[in-house]
Amino acid sequence: MARKGTIEKGSRTALVTGAGSGIGRCMARRLAELGYRLILAGLDPAKLEAAAEELHEQYGLAVEVIPIDLARPEAAHELFERVQALGREVDVLVNNAGAFSFRDILQTPVERIEKILCLHALTTTLTCRLFGAEMSRRGCGGHILNMASYSLWMPWPGLALYSASKSYLRGFSVAFAKEVREQNIRVTKTMQALGGKKLREYYDDVYAHCMVQDYIIDVNQAIDTYSPVYEKYISIDSEGIKYEGKK
């Protein structure tokens, strides 16, 4: 029996940014499991090629890579044009690429501020605009996932830039989702949080699986399936989150 959310192998295409490592790479793997062809975009060509080779060998699907710096004003248009040059129509867009910053604003180089705001706000907004318009034009619907962060609720010293940029992503995604709902385009924003390094690899994999289940399949199924497993590795008490063991 096919798992829920599975499509005819290779019949649809998913574009994942920041796909060379971490959550982005895990997202790509989960989408491949469901049968999606993949386009992996990101900054590091070597990591993208390694991910593409691994996914192609494991799932027998077409996997193409687009090395690109998305923290530039022209990046979204360039990405869109390069996807079109491949002859692909994107059914699922995962805007995962991001950069972290923990530094007071007055100590942050202006160039760093410009790049983070461009990557988190401008590039994500424009990829939603460009690929969303194509989804609407085709009339087949689609899915867009924007990666915000739990830190948007934490406008603390040192996080001013990062949390504000992620707060923008949340607000934009909520409003944009309502605008395109009648075109059968589903827009989801996610507010992940993560902690110690020894949980990171396991967290990325479980989190990616839950998000794919959530925005493409069914959130309740994801929670029922993965919460008992996840809870084996973390506990929360009055002192915060504690990490217990590793995979």
Active site residues: 162
- The fraction of the chain above a pLDDT of 70, given in percent, is 74
Identify the band that residue 154 occupies on the pLDDT scale cut at 50, 70 and 90. confident
Beta carbons within 10 angstroms of residue 42's beta carbon: 24
Contact between 233 and 243 under an 8 Å Cβ cutoff? The reply is: yes
Going by C-alpha positions, the residue among 59, 126, 134, 58 that lies closest to residue 95 is 126
Residue-wise pLDDT tens digits, 196-224 = 444 444 444 444 444 454 444 333 333 33
* 13, amino acid identity: T
pLDDT of residue 139: 94
Contact between 206 and 160 under an 8 Å Cβ cutoff? The reply is: no
Identify the band that residue 232 occupies on the pLDDT scale cut at 50, 70 and 90. very low
> pLDDT at residue 123 above 60?
yes
- Alpha-carbon 107 to chain mean position: 29
> pLDDT at residue 179 above 90?
yes
pLDDT of residue 233: 35
pLDDT of residue 54: 96
Identify the band that residue 227 occupies on the pLDDT scale cut at 50, 70 and 90. very low
pLDDT of residue 192: 63
Identify the band that residue 243 occupies on the pLDDT scale cut at 50, 70 and 90. very low
More confident residue, 230 or 39: 39
What average pLDDT does the segment 50-64 reach? 96
Beta carbons within 10 angstroms of residue 218's beta carbon: 13
Contacts (Cβ under 8 Å, ≥6 apart) of 85:
none
pLDDT of residue 230: 36
Contact between 151 and 162 under an 8 Å Cβ cutoff? The reply is: yes
Strands 234-237 and 240-243: antiparallel
Question: What are the backbone angles phi and psi of residue 20, rounded to the nearest 5°?
Answer: -75, -20
Contact between 187 and 146 under an 8 Å Cβ cutoff? The reply is: yes
Residue-wise pLDDT tens digits, 69-104 = 999 999 999 999 999 999 999 999 999 998 888 889
> pLDDT at residue 238 above 90?
no
3-class SS string, 198-220: HHHHHHHHHHHHHHHHHHHCCHH
What average pLDDT does the segment 107-136 reach? 96
Instruction: Give, in order, the Cα–Cα distances in Å from 208 to each of 60, 79, 147.
Output: 21, 23, 11
Identify the band that residue 193 occupies on the pLDDT scale cut at 50, 70 and 90. low
pLDDT of residue 224: 38
Mean pLDDT rounded to a whole number for the chain: 80
pTM comes to: 0.79
